[in-house]
Structure 1
Amino acid sequence: MYRFLLSPRWLGALALTLVAAAVMVWLGNWQLDRYRGRTEINERIDAGERMAPAPLADAFRAPTGGPGTAGPAPAKDRVWTRVTATGRYDPSNTVLVRGRTVDSRVGFEVLTPLVLADGSALLVDRGWIPPAPGGATAQPSVPTPPGGDVTVNGRVHETESGAGTVDRRDGRLETRRIAVSRLARELPYPVYGGYLLLDEQTPPADAVFNAVPVGHTNNWQNFGYVVQWWLFAAMALFGYGWVARREARRAAGLDKATAPLDRAAEPTPSASA
């Protein structure tokens, strides 16, 4: 009954079906890897909320270059963990990051270098503040950080993708993306290869700052894509088998084609009926 499957047409259809199913399974596996990776990130975010701050050296290798250079990026398994560091803020090199949204409002995140005892600096995202009256890009009035030694606790954040530009506007550094290596070129000391989202500091931070929220990744979307691609693969194989079986039954005379209904040949009911 199934000898027709060895014909060139059906062998070609089988090869195409197998290739399509294999590609769909591969896409499902790729999305599964992304689901696992995003799940791991979410677990680190949750763990970071509960953990006691670790020393800065647990997450970062200190920069070894000269002024204007950035050190190595934090290890992937240390991103979103909490660390602590002590140093002195350098308000003269504060960076305003424009176009940042918190609670559906557009404003600025404020990065201020924390200069450590060895002369290197860690960029600390002190929080979000609204723009000055006049529009979303109007530079805000930034509170001066505490003088003297400051101890900060916060979440490790890796540098953002996209180099962007760093400009000086009204004497302040301003950018759209927190690209640490690009920002480091504008600073007079070596800089750690990531930055810190501030949770708390001693002395306390100014109340005008809003904490930058840490959002979880949408890992369940990737899991949905896994199920979708694997179902498509199963449907492709099932569809080939169903068509082949229908063809075999038709060739064996088990399924006879039904003649189309000719309604024109049906008797017309009389008007008196």
Structure 2
Amino acid sequence: MYRFLLTPRWLGMFALTLVAAFAMVQLGNWQLDRYRDRSAINERIDASERATPVPLSTVLSAPAGGVGTAGPAPASTDAWTRITATGRYDPENVVLVRGRTVDSRVGFEVLTPLVLADGTAVLVDRGWIPPAPGGATAQPEVPAVPAGEVTVVGRVHESESGAGTVDRRNGLLETRRVAVPRLAEQLPYPVYGAYVLLDEQTPAADPLFKAVSVGHANNWQNLGYVVQWWAFAAMSLFGYGWVARREARRAAGGDTRPLDRAAEPDPAPTG
């Protein structure tokens, strides 16, 4: 009954179905890897909220280049590690990162270099502030940095991709993305290859700053794609089997006409 499956046409259909199903299974596996990676990131974010901070130098490699260079980027497994560092803020090189949203309001994140005892610096995201009256891009009045030595506790944030221009306006650097290597070019000291998202500061931070929340990766979307691709693979195999079974039943009933009705000649007109 199923000898027709050995014909070139049906063998070709079977091969095509297997290739399509295999490709869809592989796409599902790729999304499964993405789900696992993003789940691991979310676990590190959650764990960092409760972790005891460790010295900055135990997580990030110190910059070895000269002025205007950035150190090595952290390993992906070190992102979101809670660290502590002590130094002095540099008020001459404050960075405003525009177009940032907190509580549905668009404003600025304020990054300030913390210059350490060895002369290197790490960029510290001190928090979000609203723009000045006049629009979302109106440059705000930035709270002054604490005088003297400052100790910060925060989480390591990887440098952002898509580096844009860095401009200086009214004595402040402005950018759209926190691209550490690009920002380092504007600074008079070597800079660590990641920045720190501030959790705590001694002396206390100005109350105008709002904490920048850490967004979790949308791992459930990837899991949905896994189910989708694997379902498509199963449906393609089921569809082949269903068509083959219908062909076998048609042949067993003595109907030798092709399944493709469009290939049949038009019936002769009557009347």
TM interval, shorter chain, is: over 0.9
**Which residue of structure 2 lines up, in the alignment, with residue 264 of structure 1?**
none
Q: CA deviation at 1:254?
A: 8.0
Gaps of 5+ in 1: 258-273
Q: For residues 116-265 of structure 1, what are the structure 2 equivalents within 5 Å? A: 116-253=116-253
1: CA distance, partners of 2:58 / 2:225: 36
Matched, 1:100 2:100: yes
Distance in 1 (alpha carbons) for counterparts of 2:50 and 2:210 = 20
- Note if contact 2:92-2:171 (Cα within 8 Å) is conserved in structure 1: no
Equivalent residue number for residue 17 of structure 2: 17
Q: Share of identical aligned residues, percent?
A: 78
Paired positions, count: 257
Letter in 1 for 2:140: P
The one-letter code of the counterpart of 1:46 is D
How far apart, CA to CA, are the structure 2 residues paired with 1:254 and 1:109? 76
Runs (4+) of structure 1 exceeding 3 A deviation are 254-257
Work out the CA distance in 2 between the residues paired with 1:256 and 1:82.
73
Specify the SS of the correspondent of 1:189.
Answer: coil
**Aligned counterparts of 1:240 and 1:254: Cα–Cα separation in 2:** 22
SS of 1:11's partner is helix
| TM-score, normalised relative to structure 2 | 0.93
Counterpart of 2:11, as a letter, is L
**Quick one: which amino acid aligns to residue 10 of structure 2?**
W
Q: State the Cα distance separating 1:58 from its structure 2 match.
A: 2.2
Name 2:61's counterpart in structure 1. Answer: 61
Q: Which position in structure 2 is the counterpart of 1:260?
A: none
Quick check: 50-59 or 99-108, which moved more?
Answer: 50-59
Instruction: Specify the code of the residue in structure 1 equivalent to 2:153.
Output: N
* Secondary structure at 1:50 match in 2: coil
SS at match of 1:161: coil
Distance 1:72 1:99 in 2: 27
Residue segments in structure 2 that go unaligned for 5+ positions in a row = 258-271
* Aligned partner of residue 183 in structure 2, secondary structure: helix
Rounded to whole Å, the distance in 2 between the matches of 1:196 and 1:144 is: 19
Letter paired with 1:150: V
Distance 2:158 2:187 in 1: 18
1:255 CA displacement: 8.5
Aligned residue type for 2:228: Q
Who is 1:2 aligned against?
2
Counterpart amino acid of 2:60?
F
CA distance in 1, matches of 2:254, 2:170: 86
The alpha-carbon deviation at position 130 of structure 1 amounts to 0.1
Q: Distance between the aligned counterparts of 1:230 and 1:120, measured in 2?
A: 51
Deviation, 1:256, is 11
Equivalence for 1:78 = 78
CA distance in 1, matches of 2:180, 2:50: 27
Alpha-carbon distance, 1:74 to partner: 1.1
